[in-house]
């Protein structure tokens, strides 16, 4: 059973992401901030975390990624949604351990393609 965790503090985007990702994953869990995302990763052990970069509550998407990367295996893949696309932002995302990224606003088929690819490869093991 595949599980996707969606983390975005924008209510419209989060609810829409949950709606569309429900068609490619068996289960979709949602959370609004970084702290909630970390708790949800431990509780639900998702295969994939789709997170916005800018989150309220003091823990942004990159910090969530760093902390998830230090959790015990299996660790979810991370797809970062971000409007910040300067070179150093992409570099920061890679350095934090993000598996893939997509700029906002994105095309839904592009998002679905990348979500399917990350679910296909499965979580980080080892």
As given in the structure block, the two tokens for residue 34 are 């970084």
Closest separation between CB of residue 40 and another protein, Å?
A: 20
Of 30, 34, 2, 33, which Cα lies nearest the Cα of 16?
Answer: 30
Binding site for another protein (CB under 8 A): 10, 12-13, 15-20, 22-24, 54, 69-70, 77, 81, 83, 85-88, 90-91, 94-95, 97, 99-100, 102-110, 112-114, 117-118, 120-121, 124-126
Our CB check for another protein shows the closer of 36 and 82 to be 82
Contacts for 87 with CB less than 8 Å, ≥ 6 apart? none
Which of 63, 44, 46 has the alpha carbon at shortest distance from 54? 63
Which residue lies nearer to another protein by CB, 8 or 37? 8
């Amino acid at each position: 059973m595949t599980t996707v965790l969606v983390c975005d503090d924008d209510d419209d985007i989060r609810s829409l992401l949950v709606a569309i990702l429900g068609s490619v994953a068996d289960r979709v869990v949602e959370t609004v901030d970084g702290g909630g995302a970390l708790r949800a990763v431990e509780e639900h052990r998702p295969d994939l975390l789709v997170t916005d970069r800018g989150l309220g509550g003091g823990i942004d998407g990159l910090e969530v990624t760093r902390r998830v990367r230090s959790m015990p295996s299996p660790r979810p893949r991370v797809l970062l949604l971000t409007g910040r696309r300067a070179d150093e932002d992409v570099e920061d995302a890679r350095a934090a351990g993000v598996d893939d990224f997509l700029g906002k606003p994105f095309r839904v088929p592009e998002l679905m393609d990348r979500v399917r690819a990350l679910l296909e490869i499965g979580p980080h093991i080892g």
